Structure 1
Amino acid sequence: MTYDFRKNIINGTLHHAFIIEGPYSADKKNYAVELAQAILCKQMPGVGCGECVICRKLKDGNHLDFVFIEPYAKKGSKTRSVKDEQIEQLQERLMRKPFEGDRVIAVIDGADTVTARAFNRFLKTLEEPPEGTVIFLLSENAAKLPQTIRSRCVHVRLYGNEGKDNMKASKEAWELISFMADGDYFYREKQLIESFVKDRESAYTLLDAMESIYRDILFGKEERDIRITKEQIYRAVDCIEEARRELVRNAVPGYALKKMVLNIGG
């Protein structure tokens, strides 16, 4: 949806909780920081000047009223997630008054990795937030969040960056999808993945591009010719989401994508 942050900040009608959804390539954290600047900046309310003490502190990550938590893996585990104790500590912080102004802004990155138990605890905070609290939940797939959480947040969708890497990813993604649709030999798909996927970031970028192309095909926005059914698209998207989960569990990027291709039917 479209939400006019500037208007609501200036009018004092800003909602208290937001889901910022977008692919890995969308810089959701930086977007949340820019929103925090727009909310807390005294020089240019609703926009953020980017130069004052408040804006600089937010950018540098040392503003006392900006709380950021993100997933991590415990020792001996490969799975990165937001832990229950992080949510408990966040709730305790939100119960205290702001140190530097009249608002506390909390950002939960990787919100789709928060456990159901922790979200049940956090639900009370969303229903009755301390005065001045603004909460941003950053997620790659908001559908993974409990309905009770989604219903209490304004949903804002971001899209991936449009740089050269994304243009290249789109080209590679189309080739990969075409190979699979044509039933091409797996070694060609394997070579393509190995040529593009060098790390976790490039793997996410390729997955984002694939999902975008499948979405365009599904809704008739893709002008290039390809023979693929709706059922095949749904299966492919499920396999892409599984590859994302594999990456969250710290799977080797190339392995996760090759496994995805085989599951799709490449």
Structure 2
Amino acid sequence: MPLMYALYYYENEKISFMEDERSYMLHGLGHLTNLFPNSVEDWQAEIWQDILKLHYGKITGKDIQEKYSNLYAISRLTVSTSNVLSRFKKLNEEKNWNEQINPFNFFLVGFQTIKENDKAVKPMAPFTKDYQKIVYEPFIDYETGEVKEGSQYFKPLSRTILEYVDHPEYKFDGDEVVLERKHIHADGLVYIGKEANNIDEQALDVKKAQEFVNKQEIMNNILNISQTEAEALGVSRSRFQGIKQRIRKNGDLNMNTPAVRRLLSFEIIQ
């Protein structure tokens, strides 16, 4: 089942969700905190109403931007690793234990929008029930541990919603009514780890799922690429022959060079 869907009635230009059941799913936005904690109990229904109004042309993207102009994408996580806890070291200094941020406490994170010194700024702050408050107060940059301040470091909620609307459905064909499963042809296999123990750090974009590749198979495939095909990928004759020679002589290959990455793209488009 697709994870972005809504079951609703559209009659007399009015939108109403099916009763007695949760008939909509915001899988891609479920990580966000309640956007209207003091006024709207089911904020996901509120967003789906706006998404459907946008779909039927009752509102525009500009209307979405105006409605959510003062709100930002904020998520709540748990201090579940030493890496996360260490970022609060300065904040915990000279505080009593009961005032410190401790293991398994909640904390809040924003979603990076800009880079400084080629590093994405990743806002994190102590937990508060007034989630949007952290946008206007000093926060800790997960990447550097430095204290920063400014709403420009936080991703606007309107942008998050509009990106969500435009997010493609990879498993099914169609946009409305009954969708059909996509037919796929597997041209390769990559093993990855779920990294369940690092799920909080994945939300901060500091822990990626580990990939396990069959390096020997990749080297064999590169040896089978012709000179013409390699040059079409932007790999010069001398560079390509050098790569092949290292594979044959050393039985190894540096997978992270620009030339090798271009050769790997040949496998993908085959």
Relative to its length, the structure with more helix (as a share) is 1
Give TM-score scaled by structure 2 length.
0.27
Q: Between Structure 1 and Structure 2, whose CA radius of gyration is higher?
A: 2
Larger strand proportion, structure 1 or 2? 2
Higher relative contact order (CA 8 A, sep 6+): 1
TM-score by length of 1: 0.27
